[in-house]
Structures are given as C-alpha cells and as structure tokens.
Copies of this chain bind each other. A is one copy, B any other.
Amino acid sequence: MNNLISIKSATLSEDIAQQLTNAIVQGHIPQGSKISEPELAKQYGVSRGPLREAIVKLEGLGLVTRTANVGARVIQLNTQDMLDTFTMREALEGMAARLAASTMPADEINSLYSLLDKHQAHLDANQDEHYVQQGGNDDFHLRIIHASGNAKLIRLLTEELYAVIRMYRRHTADQRSDPRQALREHKAILDAIANHEGDLAELLMRRHISRASQLLKQAMEHSSVASRT
C-alpha cells in the first residue's frame, strides 16, 4: 500500500526506514500494534534483511520497542512519556535558544522575523486557524535549533527525537492551543535572541515548551487517544 510513494534512497534499508517512520508518525500503523516482519516484507516488496535493519533503526529512534525472539511493537503514546520527552525538549531547546542568542547572524534573525510576520498574516487571514508547520523550513523551533550551531544538538533534536515529538503533535492535534499566544511567545524568544540575551532566551523557550506540554497533557487526558496511565 505504501510502496507507491517510494523515496529513492541509496539503499533499500534507508528507504524502508523512512517509509516506516512516516507510516507510524501518521498513524497508518496503529500504536501498540505488532510489527510482523513477513507481512511488512511482502507489503514493501523487499526481503527481511533490509527490513530488519530498518526496524533496528526505528528502535533507536524510539518509535518501536523490540523484545528478543518476540518482535517489535509500535510505541504507545501516554501522558507520562510525553511529559518526560517534553522535559528533555525544555532542556535541549532551551540550550539551543541560549546558543542562538550568542551566535545567530543578523540576517538569519531578520529572516526569522519575516517568518513570524508570515505566520501573523496567516492567522489574520484564516481566522486563527492553526498553522501547520510540520517539519519544514517554516518551523520556528527547527530554525532556532539549527541556529544553535551545535551539530550534536541539531542531530539529536531533529533526527533522533523529532519523529516522536511529531507523533505527539499530530495525534493530539493541538486543538486546545492558542496560536496567537504561541506566536507572541515566539516573538518574545526571538527578541531575546536578537538582543543577545542568552539567559532570557533560554528561560522563555523553556516556558514556551512547558506551556505547550501542559496543553498537550490536558488534551491527552480528555481524549480517547493514548491513555494507558
């Protein structure tokens, strides 16, 4: 069903890993479900070899858990794990904001201000409809992370943790969030960075993420999705 959208990668294993990641994040493979190697191999038209390598990669990304001689299962989103993950985000993205405050070049900062203006215009035009900034270069948080200049931090946040974070964002749909409030917070963070106030930038980024996690928590507790607490 999914081998139509085949992202050409150098190796089959990477390809499968990419497709499986998307399938899990977007919910095509349901949470908690078992990963059957023969079934998926047939579905994607590959042998079990590269498929297994892909599964090992997904385990590293925290998207599946594996048990020896039993197999892999897709993770179950639950409130506690979400809070734990977002606490890590607080620490890491807070640090990213701090670093950005001392290294981000002026033209990059201006470019980010333009991006926020664009978001503002979108809200004005679309009656506060939530702006879906899924992954791309329009994602404020990704831009800050990259501006940190710390290669290890960038890799960790954008390659290893991002899939899970996207999963939480998606499955709870951010329905309770207030986009205008989020935008105000983004602006405040950027102001701190522009003024080279690292302490403040870190503090604001932390509060911003903390607030988002509290909203997510409420959303999760009031929805059928992901309740295994």
Contact = CB atoms under 8 A, between A and B. Distances in A.
Given A57-B56, A69-B10, A99 B81 contact: no
Give the copy number: 2
Contacts of A49: 49
Describe A's contact surface by its main secondary structure.
helix
A68 B150 contact: no
A2 B95 CA distance: 40
A153 B85 CA distance: 8
Contacts of A127: none
A153 B60 contact: no
A92 interface: yes
Contact of A84 (B56, B91, B150): B150
A94 B95 CA distance: 11
A58 to B, nearest CB: 10
A68 B52 CA distance: 17
Contacts of A139: none
A187 to B, nearest CB: 24
B56 A152 contact: no
Given A49-B49, A53-B52, A95 B87 contact: yes
